[in-house]
Structure 1
Amino acid sequence: MALVEVTVVPIGTESSSLSEYVANCQKVLAKETEIEYQLTPMGTIIEGDLDTIFEVVKKLHEVPFQKGAMRVSTSIKIDDRRDKEASMQQKIHSVNNKL
């Protein structure tokens, strides 16, 4: 299972606020049944099959265009661990155990 951090940024909008775009992306994620996700202050973490996540990221990338943006920059960071099971909760638990 992969963990992917995604940040979708519309460029050249009339406002510096991004919360409306973030909310619309979260609505797209809420409809997805094959992934888990968590909103963070700087992006969203998605957990699931990597091919499925790529399809979801493509949908998220389109959201600002659908809302009138003319340019969008999407960044993704992939953590694809294959030596053992990993999840968002497992990673947090592992760090907390060391505190």
Structure 2
Amino acid sequence: MAILELTLVPIGTEATSVSKYVAAASKILKESGIKHELNPMGTVLEGDPDELLKVVRQMQEEVFDAGAKRVYSVIKMDDRRDKEAHMEEKIKSVNEKL
């Protein structure tokens, strides 16, 4: 199980607001059924690494389809093999140490 954080930055758009592009990409993610959580600076996804990377590519294409001429993507992935990891557990572990 992997946890991936994705930030998609549309470039070459007519306006400075990017919410319509984020919404378009988020619809792809919602339809995929992959567990995810939107945050102010990106989206966290949880699942099989191959499935996550496949849906990331679909999300990038959706941003292009929404009118962006260029898409800058930042991907961070934690692919842990020694035990199953979940995004909530990572947050809980830090909070317990505060």
Shorter-chain-normalised TM-score: which range? over 0.9
- Matched residues in 1 for 2:67 and 2:26: separation? 18
- Preserved contact between residue 4 and residue 77 of structure 2 (Cα < 8 Å): yes
Alignment length (residue pairs): 98
- Matched residues in 2 for 1:62 and 1:40: separation? 21
Gaps of 5+ in 1: none
Question: Residue 84 of structure 1 aligns to a residue in which SS?
Answer: coil
Q: Percent identity?
A: 54
Gaps of 5+ in 2: none
* TM-score, normalised relative to structure 2: 0.95
1:97 partner letter: E
Q: Deviations over 1:50-87 (max 9, x none)?
A: 00001100001111210121111111111111111111
Question: Residue 31 of structure 1 aligns to a residue in which SS?
Answer: helix
- Matched residues in 2 for 1:15 and 1:56: separation? 26
Q: Which runs of 4+ in 1 moved over 3 A?
A: none
Structure 2 matches for 1:1-99, cutoff 5 A? Answer: 1-33=1-33, 35-99=34-98
